[in-house]
Amino acid sequence: MGTHTVIFTPSGKRASAETGASVFDVALEAGVDIQSICGGKGLCKRCQIEIDPGKHAKFNIEVLTESASKLSPTEKKAIHDGELNDGRRLSCRTKVQGDLVVNIPADARETESSIQKKSTAFETDLNPAIKLHMLKLPVPTLEDNPCDSETLSAMLADLGVTGVPTHRVLTKLQPILAQNERTVICVVRDEREIIDVWPPSPFDLFGAAIDVGSTSVALYVYNLATGALVFEKAAMNPQIRFGEDLMSRVSYVMMNKGGEHKLTADIRGQVSTMLNEAIEELSLEPNQLLEITMVGNPIMHHIFNGINPVELGLAPFSLAVKDWLDVPAKNFDMGLSEVARISWFPLIGGHVGADTAAAYLTQMETMKDRSVLLVDIGTNAEIVLSHNGKVAAASSPTGPALEGAEISSGVRASVGAIERVRIDPITKDGKVKIIGHDDWISDTDGSLGAHRIVGICGSGIFEVMVELANAGLLDQSGLFIPEAAPHRFSKEGNVWKYCLVNKPNNPIFIKQTDIRAVQLAKAALYAGAQLLAESLNCEAFDEVLLAGAFGTHLDSKYVADIGIIPNAPADKIRSIGNAAGMGAAMALLNVDKKNKIIAAVKTIEKMETALEPKFQDYFVGAMKFPTAQAASVDKTKRRRRRER
C-alpha cells in the first residue's frame, strides 16, 4: 500500500492515488473528463485509456509494467468482442499499483455537444420581482430632522413599497445622500424589502433564467428594466462524467461516500462560471445581477440545493421540498452579490420536475380548454396533459437510448454526429447528414470522402429506425430482415447488424440490440401517455407539443411513424423549443407569471405510471414499429431461437 502519482495526458493534470484506486475514480477526483454513461460500472466500455510505459523525464516518472493492475475479466471480454483495442484499458477496471502516465484518447474524452438551447420568443408584461426607485430625500434642518432611513421608508410607502432598510443599506445610505444632493436609487425586492441603495446612475438591473438539464445547462440573462435578452449561453453539465443518466448519478452517490458533494460542487461550479462570464462580457458591476430563476428535474434540483438525491432513486420517490424555493445566492458561494437571490420553480412530483412546470407555464394559454399533450423527451420523459379543464402529469422511464446512450454507435449531438438518415427502399443503402455539414453523405456515390463521422445522435436514431422499417429491413416486432439486403447485413457473434455508413476503419452499424433499446424507450413513453390520456378520459389529442432542445431536432413525421405517442399524426405534432428555459424567463420578468405557476402546480394531478396495472400491457403493445411489415410468426420464432 502507498501513495502514487498519476499524470493524465494530454491535459497534464497530476493526481495522487492510493494503491488499488481505479484510474476512473482518480480522474474524477482530479477533474479529468473521461466518457462514461454507466458511472464506472464496466458496462459501457467508453472510459478507455492508454497506459504509457517507460521513463517520462518530463514528469520525472517511470511507469513499470506492474504499475497498473492486470487485465480484468471485463477487459478481456471487451477485447474479445472487439469493443476494446489491444493496448487500451478501461479506466474503471484499471487499478493503480504504482506511478502512472495515463493518456486519454480523443474518442474517450467528453466533448462539447452541439447544444442548441436557443431562446424562443414569448410575450409577457414586464413586472420583475426586483425594481429600482429613484428618490430625492428632503434636506434636514434643526427644526425638522428625522433619521434618513425613516424618511426613505416613508417615501417608498407612498409608492406602495413597505419594509425597512437592511443593514447593508444603512451602511451605504448617508454617504450616497451626501455625495449626490440627497438623491439615491433604492433597489427593492418583492415590493417589501429594500436590499440595496445606489448612487444616481444609468445602471440597470439584470436577472438570469437557467435551465439545468442532465446533459446541458442553458443560461439566459435579461435586462430587468427593459425585458431585453442580452446574453445566452449553453454548456455541458459536468456531472456527465459521473453517469449519463440521472439514475447513474444517484447510484454514484449511493455507492461513493460524499459523492453527493462532488455532484453539487460540479453543477454549482458550472452555473457560477457561466454567470460570471455573463457579468464580465456585459461589463456589469457585481451588484447588478441580483435575480436568478432556475428550473430542472427533481434530481438536478435537489443536487444543486445540496440535498442528497438518494430518496429520489428509491420508491416512493419522496421529495425533500416541492414548493417555490428562494435562497440567498451567498449560500451557494458562487461569487455573486451578497444580496443576489436564487429561486427554483416548484416541482410537480418525484419524477416530474421544475423544468416541466416551467414548460407548462409557457403553454398554459395554448392548452387551456383543449386536449393537448406536452412532452419533454429525455432520459426520463415528462408528460403533461390538459383535457376538459383538468391537467395531469406523469413521467415514463424511457432511459437514455433516444438520446444516443445505450446505442452501440450512439453519441450526443456533437459535431460529426449523424442527425438525419435516409435508406433507399430499392438498393437498401443509406445516406446521412451530420452535424456541422449540410450535404447528404453516402458510401455509394463518392460523397463520403474524409468526413469525420463520430456516431449517431438522438434525431438520427429516430429516423434510422423508421427508415429501416419503411425500407423493409425491419419487421413490426423489431427483428431485422437480413435477407432483404445481404450486402448490408453481417453478424457479430449471434447478433445481426446493418451497416449504415461503411466508412473505412470506422463503419457505423445499427445492431439488433440497438433496435431493442429503442423499442423499450418508445414503449415506455407510449404507455405513459396512454395511461395519462385514460386518466382524463381523453380519446384524442388536439395537439402534441415537444419541449426541450432534443425535441427541437426531431422531424414530426418520424415522431409519428416510430409510434412513440398514441394517436398522434405528424400534422398534430409541434416543437416548442426550450420551453423550460423560457418558462423560467417568464417568471423572472413577471411576478404574476411566477404566482400563476405556483398556483397551477397545486392543481395538477400526479400519476405514478409504474404503479398502474395496465402499464405493462400498453408497454408490450407499443414495442412494434407501425410502418414495418408484419412479422412472420415462423420466421420470428426461428430467429429468436437462433439468436438467444
pLDDT for residue 127: 93
In the sheet that 3-9 helps form, which strands lie side by side, from edge to edge?
13-18, 3-9, 100-103, 48-51, 89-90
Percent of the chain at pLDDT exceeding 70: 93
Are 75 and 84 within 8 A, CB to CB? yes
Q: Could you read off the pLDDT of 454-507 as tens digits, one per residue?
A: 889 888 999 999 999 999 999 999 999 999 999 999 998 899 999 999 988 789
pLDDT at residue 640, as a whole number: 45
Q: How many CB atoms lie within 10 A of CB 636?
A: 16
Place of cell 466518457: 35
Q: Is 585 exposed, middle or buried (0-12, 13-18, 19+ CB in 10 A)?
A: buried
3-state SS of 521-558?
HHHHHHHHHHHHHHHCCCCCCCEEEEEHHHHHHCCHHH
Specify the pairing of strand 289-296 against strand 206-212: parallel
State which H helix or E strand residue 462 sits in: helix 458-470
Is the pLDDT score of 414 beyond 60? yes
pLDDT at 386 over 50: yes
- Please tell me the pTM assigned to this model: 0.81
Q: CB neighbours of 184 closer than 8 A, spacing ≥ 6?
A: 134, 135, 137, 152, 173, 176, 177, 197, 198, 199, 200
pLDDT for 538 equals 95
Which of 142-146, 168-172, 212-216, 352-356 has the least mean pLDDT? 142-146
* Model confidence at 423: pLDDT above 90: yes
Of the candidates 106, 96, 89, 75, which has an alpha carbon nearest to the alpha carbon of residue 30? 96
Closest C-alpha among 560, 554, 544 to residue 627: 560
DSSP 349: B
The residue that leads in pLDDT, 316 or 594, is 594
In whole angstroms, what separates CA 638 from the centre of its chain?
Answer: 41
Nearest Cα neighbor of 5 from 94, 78, 85, 67 is 67
**Confidence grade of residue 245 (pLDDT, cut at 50, 70, 90):** confident
Residue 78 has pLDDT above 80, yes or no: yes
pLDDT(109) > 80: no
> Residue 584 CA to chain centroid, in angstroms?
15
Overall size of the chain counted in residues? 644
Q: How far apart are alpha carbons 524 and 565 in whole angstroms?
A: 10
With H, G, I as helix, E, B as strand and everything else as coil, classify residue 385: strand
Q: Is the pLDDT of residue 114 over 50?
A: no
Residues 504-529: tens digit of each pLDDT: 878 999 999 999 999 998 999 999 99
Which residue from 573, 562, 564 is spatially nearest to 466, judged by alpha carbons? 562
> What's the CA gap between 97 and 100, in Å, rounded?
8
Residue 223: what are its φ and ψ, rounded to 5°?
-80, 115
- Residue 320 CA to residue 297 CA, distance in Å, equals 13
Pairing outcome for strands 381-387 and 390-396 = antiparallel
Rounded to a whole number of angstroms, the CA Rg of the chain reads 28
Q: What is the mean pLDDT of residues 447-453?
A: 86
pLDDT band at 643 (very low <50, low <70, confident <90, very high): very low
Task: Could you list the beta-strand ranges (E) of 399-466.
Answer: 417-423, 430-434, 441-442, 455-456
pLDDT at position 244 over 60: yes
CB count in 10 Å sphere of residue 265: 15
The 10s digit of each residue's pLDDT in 529-564 is 999 999 999 999 999 999 876 677 788 999 999 999
Find the angle CA(602)-CA(604)-CA(608) to the nearest 5 degrees: 115
Residue in 509, 510, 506, 500 with CA at minimum distance from that of residue 450 = 506
